[in-house]
Structure 1
């Protein structure tokens, strides 16, 4: 958390990041938090962890190229992992059939569960149980007629054993009475014939297909889930891509990102489409326009913001996204003129620009900070610089909390140990060209006002990437 005076009560790390100047490498990255912007009618409520190899049909009820997952598709062009926040809830479809030994229930609630069917085909001593989602077979298992308990749940349907046996009618000719002449011809009632039980699967005389029904969707408000996910999940960038520009969710994301960064020292970042409001914050990037894909699909800024969020989450402190290509895009949408591009950049907006070879690039890797101050100089508006600052803060915070709190004595030797750890890390960043001109004297670790606190002062100089060429050529 940030601090103004040394008066904190809770154990923890409290770190201020300020600029010094005039007004003129982590490994666990690539995680993007994305709330769903359309009702999926399937899937678990809450966070669903996805990557490019995920079984989207099973987890979300739709293939990745379907319209419902368009924003997710764009995010995955850049992100390693997407934490999809799903607001699906309701009733799961189910079915029970007297000739079968199971109750079958859709794995998730939602109306898409009504598209599930289960077919049971008998072949001698075996049965083949097939699960269909719509017309597509999504699971198939072969079990013995006498082993219905060996049928396992699949990604779509859960099977609960009910009664694997069924009563059979008495044999032909038996009426439950018997005459016995040994008592002089007197007729007596004999005991009832025992009930004969037989395997339900063994008694099947034909194939059986059942349809799951009763599935309903009652989505919860995504805004109710968002703040909790933002505060509890481990991610690098969160985005409200896919939601209309007038959605209140964008403002909610901005406020929560500010809260996390300023009050909790959790250095996550946010990406939203440009809504017309100036955000003016280094932790938020706004996207001004979209792209046209090679197949003619037009993606506006609300969807294209997903790509920038995904690739931002995967970029480390040594990488700038300036002039990085947008995969599969052939044109910006809409195309901005030179003057409009400059205006957008000065407003702190991400712009997609068409190059002459029909590729589309990110014009400049910036954030929404436009009001420059002594504590937030102009280079705070560059995302590579922000990623560097965030990386250093996050490393110092995690190191202190994992290795020093409650473990190391607050004396000169203990403080020197912490300093040596940070110095070694920063020298690594300097060797990797993330920061420059670092010297051991740039960090001091002293005793704080309280016996259990330390005071650290650190100066770093983040590097940026080349972006402008000024050249004079003299022709003789």
Structure 2
């Protein structure tokens, strides 16, 4: 898919090129609720690359541990707000295996990594019928699969979510199973972990996956991964037309981000159960929440349900300083309530093309939605299908007017008129130029009250 911004009408690839500027005149599967988490957790299990996870996922099967493992604290926080987490697993290495001469099968761990060495296979014959063999797969001490075969049907043993099974006995396995008299347990061995570098995977993953927010939550504040994320988000938004947003922890090692597609989190949280979330893990919480917020939603003063305190608490001066630096601040309010002070991004230097309103995430979600919908509608329904003449351009204009009127009726934009849309022929015979003038609706944030006493 070609896309991105444009300065001159000289693009080579077919596609939609969308500029978003402040001026009087300016679907596919939704990415809403989808967060890409670039993880540094060393798990020793799971498929290398992106693993799609939900709150009801079997984390033990997919990642080799439970969601309450401290290694997965960032993932747990993202899932509090996100519908889906695309977890970048860097696990690589050698798969554990079992190829004992006493058995008619070879077992190989489903994934590489040292956790495969925790898998064991237990065999036991039925005491009432010795032709029946019960085969149990254990992951650590947990039974994860149970199957039954007979001494003449060893080939019926199936692979499961933890091991793949191959019948190796030439006679079908009957002789080896007949020879087993007592219960026996066999351990898989040889599994090793050699983690891939996140930096080697993130570029392709960020460009090919479907998500709305990407985060480096969980990495140390001084990691260079945050700067790499900022650069990647800028490139994908401005050059590739992907209206994704990024969330990183604020730190002294990365300054002057000044970009509407990046939010920085200033402080952490203390939860009801006493758990302390560092700024890196609190970034995960905001990233998940932000990915699920639509164009009609602001997270300003959104209450963090299971938190009792910001950590650290910032006084008034430090809060203002952080906000002025374009940072997300968690604030403790009376009654042990914790709120997101203001739903902003890191844009702090304003221009005619990027005014102060662009520093509001709600405004950017609206503009991103319009840009994305316009691009996808053009590519799905008009590119290569509709003639580039007055009639064809009028069809596209009517489509955009109807779409924007719907946003106006939903209080996402305001004061919209059909005259705010212009669709004209471009320089080349196959190009179309669209000007959209929109006024996003912001949320109420400041109340100034004068009480007159008579």
Same-fold status (TM-score > 0.5): yes
Q: Is the partner of 1:200 in helix, strand or coil?
A: helix
* Deviation string, structure 1 residues 205-242 (Cα, Å, up to 9, x no partner): 01120000000001111100011111111110000000
| Mapped partners of 1:434, 1:70: distance in 2 | 34
Question: Take 1:69 and 1:164, find their aligned partners in 2: how far apart are those partners?
Answer: 44
1:402 aligns with one of 368, 380, 383? 380
- Aligned twin of 1:391: 369
Normalising to structure 2: TM-score of the pair?
0.95
The reply to whether residue 449 of structure 1 matches residue 407 of structure 2 is no
Aligned partners of 1:35, 1:153: CA distance in 2, in Å?
30
RMSD: 1.4
> Helix, strand or coil for the counterpart of 1:242?
coil
Larger Rg: 1
Within the alignment, does 1:377 sit opposite 2:380 as a pair? no
Matched, 1:139 2:145: yes
Q: Secondary structure at the match of 2:178?
A: coil
Q: Distance in 1 between matches of 2:410 and 2:93?
A: 51
Aligned partner (choices 277, 280, 285) of residue 302 of structure 1: 280
Other-structure match for 1:275: 251
Q: 2:156 is matched with which residue? A: 150
| 2:97 aligned with 1:94 | yes
Q: Indicate which of 126, 131, 135 corresponds to 1:129.
A: 135
Residue 210 (structure 2) pairs with residue 204 (structure 1): no
1:128-180: CA deviation from partner (whole Å, max 9, x where unpaired): 111111111111112223211221111111111110648xxxxxxxxxxxxxx
Q: Where does residue 71 of structure 2 map in the other structure?
A: 68
Shift of residue 198, structure 1, vs aligned partner = 4.3
Match of 2:18 among 15, 38, 50: 15
Q: Deviations over 1:30-64 (max 9, x none)?
A: 11111111211111001101111110011001100
Cα deviation for residue 278 of structure 1 reads 2.2
Contact 1:131 1:140 survives alignment (8 Å): yes
Question: Aligned residue for 1:174?
Answer: none
Structure 1 alignment gaps of length 5 or more: 167-196
Residue in structure 1 matched with residue 108 of structure 2 by the alignment: 105
Helix, strand or coil at the partner of 1:220: coil
Is residue 318–residue 388 contact of structure 1 (8 Å, CA) maintained in 2?
Answer: yes
Pick from 313, 333, 340 the counterpart of residue 355 of structure 1: 333
Q: Secondary structure at the match of 1:13?
A: strand
Residue 47 (str. 1) matches residue 50 (str. 2):
yes
Point out where structure 2 has 5 or more consecutive residues left out of the alignment. Answer: none
Contact preservation (8 Å) 1:146, 1:202: no
**Is the counterpart of residue 413 in structure 1 residue 391 in structure 2?**
yes
Following TM superposition, by how much is the alpha carbon of 1:98 offset from its aligned partner in structure 2, in angstroms? Answer: 2.0
Aligned partners of 2:375 and 2:204: how far apart in 1?
Answer: 22
Contact 1:286 1:350 in 2 (8 A): yes
Q: 1:328 pairs with 297, 303, 306, which one?
A: 306
Q: Partners in 2 of 1:215 and 1:27 — Cα distance?
A: 39
Q: Is the 8 A contact 1:118 1:209 kept in 2?
A: yes
CA contact (8 A) 1:41 1:217 kept: yes
Secondary structure at the aligned position of 2:371 is classed as: helix
The separation in 1 between residues aligned to 2:16 and 2:342, in whole angstroms, is 33
SS for the counterpart of 2:17 is coil
| Alignment partner, residue 85 of structure 1 | 88
**Partner SS, residue 259 of structure 1:** helix
- In structure 2, C-alpha distance between the alignment counterparts of 1:110 and 1:343, rounded to whole Å: 45
Question: Is the contact made by 2:151 and 2:174 (CA closer than 8 Å) also made in structure 1?
Answer: no
**Structure 2 residue aligned with 1:263:** 239
Distance 1:198 1:244, change over 3 A: closer
Separation in 1 of the partners of 2:401 and 2:39? 42
1:3 has 2:6 as partner: yes
Instruction: Give CA deviations for 1:449-474 in whole Å, capped at 9, x if unaligned.
Output: 11000111110000011111111111
Deviation at 1:20, TM superposition (A): 3.0
Q: CA deviation at 1:199?
A: 3.5
Q: Which residue of 2 aligns with 1:179?
A: none
1:329-349 Cα shifts (integer Å, max 9, x gaps): 111010110111111111100
- Contact persistence 2:153–2:174 (CA under 8 A): no
Which piece of structure 1 moves more, 97-106 or 446-455?
97-106
What do the CA deviations read for 1:50-79 (whole angstroms, capped 9, x no partner)? 111110011001100011111000000011
Asked if the contact 2:271/2:307 (under 8 Å) is kept, the reply is yes
Distance 1:126 1:211, change over 3 A: same
Q: Please name the residue that 1:317 is paired with.
A: 295
8 Å contact from structure 2 (residues 31, 210) kept in 1: no
